[in-house]
Structure 1
């Protein structure tokens, strides 16, 4: 049913990714699908990496550590942005097409009133793509 599962990853907030990573790995095993971990970073030094190249190395290592043993090589894709928070939704939508994902598994927060003004990343991605989006609550 699914061939390529895209998983957005924020290396600065790994503690919030446990459930989405588990769901993505389980689905990849079940459907014998490849996983692609996608990260968005800036060219400015951060708490995670000093450069986009260092971020990419860390994301690739992360992909190999967290991918299921289903016989398929995981991939990692890094996108650079001047403002990752503002650009995140558009970058994820672009990445879906570029990595040829047919399923996106991503974490989300519990609904809040502010979502009426500023929708969560997952809801915007789901509303603007034609692929399935599985939002995993904490």
Structure 2
């Protein structure tokens, strides 16, 4: 059982997020905390020039809305033990930073079916597994 679990959610694949959130609930200690995390990727500056300014804010609002919807589905006694965080940057880097800052003892991350470029597990999950200082559970 774990006391602090980071659950990174790709809002484009909310169904995977709900699946790993259920696993986090099952693995959480009494009095433990789950941190739902979504990372909105920054656009490279050479692309950002041609894209409307409010695109990033729209991504943040979409992430906030989806995380709130996921948290609302939790059992009522667990809701106070779930916090949400939205970060902007590289997903793997921000997940690892959040785990370090929060002193997490587990990260539960979903992985997509890989292609040749990231054969074993997804690229983000792969980086998290390699560099995390805590346990990582990868769900397929």
Aligned residues: 127
Contact 1:67–1:74 at 8 Å: present in 2 too? no
Contact 2:18–2:70 at 8 Å: present in 1 too? no
Which position in structure 2 is the counterpart of 1:5? Answer: 5
Q: TM-score, normalised to structure 1's length?
A: 0.73
User: 1:100 aligned to 2:103?
Assistant: yes
Q: Deviations over 1:6-56 (max 9, x none)?
A: 00012222123342122112112xx2221000111257527xx6263x346
Structure with the bigger percentage of strand: 2
What SS is found at the alignment partner of 1:50? Answer: helix
Which position in structure 2 is the counterpart of 1:84? Answer: none
The gaps in structure 1 that reach 5 residues or longer are 82-86
The gaps in structure 2 that reach 5 residues or longer are 43-52
Q: TM-score, normalised to structure 2's length?
A: 0.72
Deviation at 1:116, TM superposition (A): 5.1
Which position in structure 2 is the counterpart of 1:38? Answer: 37
- Which deviates more, 96-105 or 115-124? 115-124
Equivalent of 2:58, from 37, 40, 50?
50
Change (3 A) 1:101 1:63: farther
Contact 1:63–1:74 at 8 Å: present in 2 too? no
Deviation at 1:63, TM superposition (A): 5.2
Change (3 A) 1:127 1:51: closer
Whole-Å separation in 1 of the counterparts to 2:12 and 2:115: 23
User: 1:64 aligned to 2:71?
Assistant: yes
Contact 1:6–1:37 at 8 Å: present in 2 too? yes
Change (3 A) 1:51 1:89: closer
Which position in structure 1 is the counterpart of 2:112? Answer: 109
